[in-house]
Chain A
Amino acid sequence: MDLEFSPEDIAFRNEVRAFIEANYPPHLKGRVLREDLSKEDFLAWHQILGKKGWSAPAWPKEYGGTGWTATQRYIWLEENARAETIPPLPFGVSMVGPVIYTFGTPAQKERFLPGILKGEVWWAQGYSEPGAGSDLASLKTKAVREGDFYIVNGQKTWTTLGQYADWGFFLVRTDPNAKPQEGISFLLIDMKSPGVSVRPIKLLDGGYEVNDVFLQDVKVPVDQRIYEENKGWTCAKFLLAHERAGIAGVARSKRNVERLKSIARSEIGDEGKPLIEDEDFQRKLAELEIDLSALEMTELRVLAREHAGKGPGPESSLLKIKGTEIQQRLTELTLEAVGNYAQPYVRDLPGGNEFAIGPDYARAAAPVYFNWRKASIYGGSNEIQRNIIAKMVLGL
């Protein structure tokens, strides 16, 4: 047992670093997710990686994965975080893609996987409903079979970036009389279908990143159902476990710790010395780093098991809870670091302003803090994750 990189790993890291350096779109350097990115901005890096064959490292090689070892995938994420790339969105690559290659028919795989790999099709998630959040299985959107089609009616909500989506994957009720988990099917729906409408929801930070999706008599061909009718819950659970595993965001949090340190070097603390030398701040930062190390090591252990053939299981709930708590603490500490410059609310980008309001790094501190309260709610709230661990891991 050791944590050393092999010479091959180091060579791989150098290759990856050089590739990012040479190929990451110059106009996106330094842009962060928080800022208002266009659809093209979101997809640019994904599409470059698609051409290279690196857009879905976690996928099995036969479906377009890279065949990298767990260590290589770790290095990949580290290097992307280091360069602050805008990563491929999770909805296609990490969510619906694995469902399709695991449960789909050969025709479905052929039809949908290439668009995901290439970053040509933007996917959105249709899971939660106004009355079905943590209790996802109580969902009411219904699909009624009529010949070779389903007629879908209902409302989904919290659909992240659904305003840009080309396609969506939806959980719908196909058997109203079965037990909640047993009457659900997994449908792929073209967002341009008649009867689909999307309403962006304004969030606390002033941005629009989630949506209500309304489905009114939407005709969906039966061949867009993944897996068997009424067995959609199997796909749903599989997808959620994958979603949770990626949700820990360790590499990005490590990068954000560095970002925070650089802010703390610029900020003057309460006693006229740099904030980074302030003992209260140092202590909080150190505790955060230690907790992040624990999370990283735990994630590596989970990844190693996963690589040994066991898919992400209920342990991924641990990663989700700890990962999101750390992300939130990071945003909280960043908010503290910028002092009263947390207060101005300025949405327009720098450059055009004659007067800057505070340092550049302060601008996003409060919006990001407020925005990231979502992290302990989405992907199954952290309360639900604790229930999962209690039941599935501890057997309580």
Chain B
Amino acid sequence: MNFDYTDEQNALRDSLSKWATQQYDFDKRKAALADENAWKKNWATFAELGLLAAPLPEAFGGLGGGPIDVAVVAEEFGKALVVEPYVPTVVLGGGALAYAGSAAQKDQHLNAIASGERVIAFAQAEPKSRWSLNDVSTTAKKDGAGYVLNGQKSVVLGGPQADHLLVSARTAGGQRDAKGISLFLVPTNAKGVTRRDYPTMDDTRASEVYFENVSVGADALIGAADGALPIIERIIDEANTAYCHEAVGCMRMMTSSTQEYAKQRKQFGRAIAEFQVIQHRLVDMFMATEESVSMALRATIKLSESDAERAKAVAGAKVAIGKQGRFVGQNAVQVHGGMGVTDEMRVGHYFKRVTMIDSTFGNVDYHLKRYIALEQKAAA
């Protein structure tokens, strides 16, 4: 057993943390949010620092790292409240290509992701699908050698920045069938693709994406036709694990800044940190954060195990971190009092981020059900 990070991973964290302190502080971040193109400069820096290449295979421009590298990046991103679409591009897009792409597709796209020239968003959820990965109404009909796509995708994170969309679409079967789902990589400027872009509650950007008779060639298909669900489950588990680490970064910042605030804030002639009710709250926040760190790491380590083991560990982490993140977030705001509810303090932004992470790719209830179902399946 070994919980140590490698020297490379420590170096990655340090360089990222240094960059965030210098280039991504609260005011700079705020200014960047007002500028639709500001992310490009940050993206170029991510490429320079090797963040985009970190988990990708060495044969295609990557550094050959793995989920632990992603975890390091995600936690630092959580601490700095980074809004650029790292997980959609590297974990979801890069993952789909690495696991299911042909050599030609990998060569074309993974190199471009690693160098910062390719940004991908995963057009997966639909207006009525909620979080079910198998609930796919968007269709891809065979048309000669290629396909024609029709349908609507909702809350596509990173959609506004993306140059390519990874799209789940039904090539066979009924709306909720596990089989008959395929993945396509479609340029966002393809004819018939329209987007409505918007900011999210936590300052990232997303799109509603509409496909109207969008023709793609056979080379747009990633992996085998009709058989994409296991790939989708895998990359979403990996994305959720990264988001869990991001939430952990947010939680660490909320617990530490709340402790600091409670030591400084005086009411009734003393620091509120001297009141036992506040002390116990801070202790509970600390414990919740530590348990979340553990669950995120556990999920990361188990990503390489069997599908069932991986899925259970990720579902468990999403449940734990969804609950603990809510607890830490609500209490961080509560202890900050009125200041906690303002846009002017970081604490509220972390709270918003952990809340939105919970509603990304399945909330607590969703993953609790999933965990139970996996458990029952294993017992049967």
Contact = CB atoms under 8 A, between A and B. Distances in A.
B15 interface: no
A340 B333 CA distance: 23
A239 B43 CA distance: 54
A251 B176 CA distance: 40
B342 A342 contact: no
Contact of A381 (B129, B334, B360): B334
A339 B269 CA distance: 45
Interface string A138-163: 10000000000000000001100000
A345 B200 contact: yes
Nearest to B348: A204
5 smallest CB-CB distances across A and B, nearest first, come from A135-B267, A202-B343, A355-B196, A204-B348, A343-B200
18 contacts: A128-B338, A131-B266, A138-B268, A204-B349, A267-B130, A270-B131, A280-B368, A336-B363, A339-B363, A342-B359, A343-B155, A343-B202, A343-B206, A345-B201, A367-B201, A370-B351, A378-B338, A383-B277
Contacts of B366: 270
Nearest to A136: B267
A346 to B, nearest CB: 6
Given A377-B338, A381-B337, A340 B130 contact: yes
Given A272-B135, A335-B355, A340-B125, A370 B338 contact: no
Contacts of B307: none
A369 interface: yes
Contact of B198 (A357, A371, A377, A383): A357
Interface string A267-300: 1111110000010110000000000000000000
A370 B352 contact: yes
A355 B359 contact: no
B154 A373 contact: no
A71 B202 CA distance: 44
B342 A202 contact: yes
A138 to B, nearest CB: 7
Contacts of B344: 201-202
B356 interface: yes
A134 B352 contact: no
A320 B339 CA distance: 20
Contact of B341 (A204, A269, A386): A204
A341 B155 contact: yes
Interface string B119-144: 00000010111111001000000000
Contacts of B200: 343-345
B208 interface: yes
A374 B343 CA distance: 13
Interface of B: 125, 127-132, 135, 154-155, 176, 196, 198-202, 206, 208, 210, 266-269, 275, 277-278, 326, 330, 333-334, 337-338, 340-344, 348-349, 351-352, 355-356, 359-360, 363, 365-366, 368-369
Nearest to B128: A268
Contacts of B208: 355, 357
A370 B348 contact: yes
Interface residues of A, number: 52
Given A268-B130, A345-B200, A373 B333 contact: yes
B130 A204 contact: no
Nearest to A204: B348
A131 B155 CA distance: 41
Contacts of A374: 338, 341
A373 B334 contact: yes
B198 A344 contact: yes
Which interface residue of A158, A267, A339, A366 has the most chain B CB atoms within 10 A? Answer: A339
Contacts of A366: 201, 355-356
B342 A343 contact: no
A206 interface: yes
Contacts of B129: 268
Nearest to B130: A339
A77 B210 CA distance: 45
Contacts of A125: none
Given A270-B130, A280-B369, A370-B352, A335 B340 contact: no
Contact of A357 (B196, B356, B359): B196
A376 interface: yes
Contacts of A383: 275, 277-278
A270 B132 contact: yes
B334 A270 contact: no
A345 B130 contact: no
Contacts, number: 140
Contacts of B269: 138
A382 B366 CA distance: 31
A358 B349 CA distance: 23
Nearest to A373: B333
Nearest to B176: A272
B203 to A, nearest CB: 8
A393 interface: no
B198 A346 contact: yes
A280 B344 CA distance: 36
Nearest to A269: B130
Contacts of B176: 272
Contacts of A272: 132, 135, 176
A316 B333 CA distance: 24
B365 A281 contact: yes
Contacts of B352: 204, 370
A378 B341 CA distance: 11
A343 B201 contact: yes
A280 B338 contact: no
A340 B156 CA distance: 10
B158 to A, nearest CB: 12
A85 to B, nearest CB: 26
Contacts of B338: 128, 133, 157-158, 210, 374, 377-378
A127 B300 CA distance: 50
A216 to B, nearest CB: 22
A264 to B, nearest CB: 12
Given A134-B267, A135-B268, A340 B154 contact: yes
A281 B368 CA distance: 12
A32 to B, nearest CB: 18
B368 A377 contact: no
A37 interface: no
Contact of B369 (A131, A270, A344, A381): A270
A133 B337 contact: yes
A383 B340 CA distance: 15
B154 A341 contact: yes
Contacts of B267: 132-135, 138
B341 A373 contact: yes
Interface in A352-375: 355, 357-358, 366-367, 369-371, 373-374
B73 to A, nearest CB: 22
B371 to A, nearest CB: 12
A203 interface: yes
Contact of A339 (B131, B206, B268, B341): B131
